[in-house]
A and B are shown apart, each in its own frame.
Chain A
């Protein structure tokens, strides 16, 4: 594991070494400062990336952590003579703690609300620090043993210190990326609901991310104050500071550790050099050029340089869409034979009692009750809008029912969160597929494996096993972005399987598939069932289902209209009416 991480970071190590060697030749103290600042802003960018890049929750407020770190460092030395060497780490702790404090209330919000609320924290801090009477603070010069106070006459020392910090942060970022931590964050970014359903406790992971992110930002701020010597509330809590973190990351590419580094290396020297060269003649020119560079880049590569280059390099050239099956008339499955296998008669693993849910006046699910015995395949059918998906949402905890109970192995699990339900053994797939597009099939499935896996190796193994069960092993290293509908459905099935569920809820797994494709998927589901998994499957049409399920539950308008084995249900006039309307019934009689 560690070896792999080090190997994947070799390019970084080489570039970092080269950077340090270059820095050694720089004698002008101003350029030495710029070289240090590039690294510090890269660290700050990585801190932003840790939260916002991986989870997709955009923070405008990273200056809070940065500023607290900076002020803590300076104030500690001014007031108590504590060395920045200590405060560098204390700032990390302060950053982590404030991250938790900010995260706990703010993670209740999403999207724009989250982004804008994060903006309010540094601004409030800015005014508070101004009011506390710190318009400007500078680090006192230490004449006796300055090195103990991180004071060096040679600016290159700071560059080395900053690089060590960057090194540590890069390694941490990569470890996060490669482990369940990063996988969980990326899963949250792509689809928070699906992540919850895959057993990820999203709030816990987000809090860990913001704590780590805050810690890194705090350390960046601490080092910044030492290097820059004078800080003001505006310079560390100001919106431009938050914007800096966001800009370098997005410019380089959010969601990868390379992004902030690329961004900082490009942008910081431009801004600083312009400021130094033209600042006297045209004050503000660096802002204009900086702004123009950002605009130009974002219109050419809206997701940042890194992703642009990567997409460009990895453009699939050899993979054409697999030839579609022939357009013969295939609407009729070859066999409409009803299931011959005996109805499973195990104990009841899932029991739904009087479940109801209404949205405003609309009763989406009304008084639904049914039992599922171990090993059976239950098909829930009904027209669009009959409440099938809502029923699933109630079963796996996305929505709380207005009334009723869900007994899993006899324990009432109603009102539990999705990730708890997942841990209790309820896996689920979604009608609208949300693959994690930039991850391989294997990694997509691995996200689901963390529910039970204790180690990375175990997760790998579970994922490989799940892929094998659905028959995707041969293409497991392909990116999920370009898969066919059938393969995506199978991948989602594998992802749900990786959580080692004993009950699988499948939401329209056959939708959009041709007859032969749907037969393949049906065969996989059948195989799973024989392997001991209990399956509840929602479908819109009956055709493929008749041969698959042991029992049908027919919903219409949120109510169970009938229940029973396929051969009986398909002849029920009420079912026919719900599907095809009265006209069909009268016609059929003639």
Chain B
């Protein structure tokens, strides 16, 4: 194999991995976009919601016996699906008892329209979740074990050539799963009554009230859906990433970067934002040491935000 071939091979391999990882990041970002993008609630606990999703998936897969019932191939994905309603309910309750107190109408008289209060409240939630999980389950690394994560399809793009690209099976399934969830969500938002009321409430809350839409309830629903989606992304991630209760912190930053890149307020934009983060993360290893791949993400993020604050895909809705 010549040097050029090696280079081409590694670029293609990184592109493939970037897209697969990016699809998963995209799903996470979409979950956050439901919360931050639509309702402008700064939720610091989003990474920990993801972490909870990972553990719930882990226990459904292991303790509840999905592993033995459905096997280690199908089991993890069914566990992810089974975890979603739990996290939906979890998000619903968190919003009802905590977040709802500092958002919407309740926050109108507060400093910074309640953003200060939201920030510190979600920080408190994040602290409790991280540390509470540590007390409950300890800080040992666990993962949802599937043989798929160590298997790969190979593809030789040039017939008979030496170039070989690997498609990690667990990642491919996770990416496909993400795609299905996002298409489902898109359909829900675009076509159903619930989705349309949600968009109306996000677009103009006051007018939505005049239409008879219960805006507080719509927000709660969006919050719960956002929680469930990010948690599903976490469950999928758990199939090829060992984790501890502290995993949320790193990903919450990736999520915000993705949402802002895609343009605050745009659901589909958030997906592409996550995808770009995945690609940057992988491709940066071509020129930079691996330890710096996350630093690159944030530098690119800064550059894009400062040069194009409305995000890559956002309409210029928020000028100031």
B and A form one assembly: yes
Q: Does B188 contact A (CB under 8 A)?
A: no
Q: How far is the CA of A303 from the CA of B121 in the complex (A)?
A: 11
User: Is the CB–CB distance between B114 and A302 below 8 Å?
Assistant: yes
Q: Is B117 an interface residue (CB 8 A)?
A: yes
Partner of B130, one of A58, A247, A284: A284
Question: B298: which A residues are within 8 A, CB to CB?
Answer: 120-121, 123-124, 127
- Tell me whether B128 and A288 are in contact (CB under 8 A): yes
- Beyond A112-B42, A291-B125, whether A105 also contacts B306 by CB under 8 A is yes
**CA A299 – CA B97 in complex, angstroms?**
10
A303 contacts B256, CB within 8 Å? Answer: no
Q: How far is the CB of B250 from chain A (nearest CB, A)?
A: 9
Q: Which of A111, A239, A303 contacts B117 (CB 8 A)?
A: A303
**Shortest Cβ gap from A55 to chain B (Å):** 11
A90 in contact (CB, < 8 A): no
Known: A110-B320, A124-B295, A294-B127. A56 touches B301 (CB 8 A): no
Interface string of B288-320 (1 = CB under 8 A from A): 010110110011011001100100000000101
Q: What residues of chain B lie closer than 8 Å to A250, measured between beta carbons? A: 116, 119-120
Complex CA–CA separation, A65 to B256 (angstroms): 22
Q: Are B139 and A283 in contact (CB under 8 A)?
A: yes
Closest partner residue, chain B, to A105 (CB atom) = B306
Q: Contact: A285 with B295, CB < 8 Å?
A: no
Query: Size of chain B's interface in residues, with CB distance under 8 A?
Result: 51
* Cross-chain contact of B309 among A108, A287, A298 (Cβ < 8 A): A108
B252 nearest CB neighbor, chain A only: A239
Least CB separation from B132: chain A residue: A288
The answer to whether the Cβ of B40 comes within 8 Å of any Cβ in the partner chain is yes
- Nearest-CB residue, chain A, relative to B128: A291
Closest to B306 in A: A105
User: What per-residue 1/0 map shows which CB atoms of B116-145 lie under 8 Å from chain A?
Assistant: 110111011111101110110001000000
The reply to whether A123 and B253 form a contact with Cβ atoms under 8 Å apart is yes
Residue of A nearest to B311 (CB): A113
A554 in the interface (beta carbon within 8 A): no
Contact assessment for A303 and B134 in the assembled complex, using a CB-CB cutoff below 8 Å: no
Q: Which of A250-289 contact B (CB under 8 A)?
A: 250-251, 254-255, 282-288
Question: Is A113 in contact with B117, judged by CB distance below 8 angstroms?
Answer: no
CB distance from B55 to the nearest CB of A (A): 14
A254 contacts B111, C-beta separation under 8 Å: yes
Answer yes or no: B212 CB below 8 A from chain A CBs.
no
In the complex, what residue of chain A is closest to B299 when comparing beta carbons? A124
Q: Is the CB of B126 within 8 A of A291?
A: yes
Contact present for A283 and B135 (CB under 8 Å)? yes
Judge if B215 is at the interface, Cβ distance under 8 Å.
no
Q: Is the CB of A109 within 8 A of B121?
A: no
The reply to whether A128 and B295 contact each other, CB–CB distance below 8 Å, is yes
Contacts of A243 on B, CB cut-off 8 Å?
44, 123
Interface residues, chain A, with chain B CB atoms under 8 Å away: 56, 58, 105-106, 108-113, 115-117, 119-121, 123-124, 126-128, 130-131, 239, 243, 246-247, 250-251, 254-255, 282-288, 290-295, 298-299, 302-303
A–B pairs, 9, beta carbons within 8 Å: A56-B111, A108-B306, A119-B256, A283-B135, A288-B135, A294-B121, A295-B98, A298-B120, A303-B116
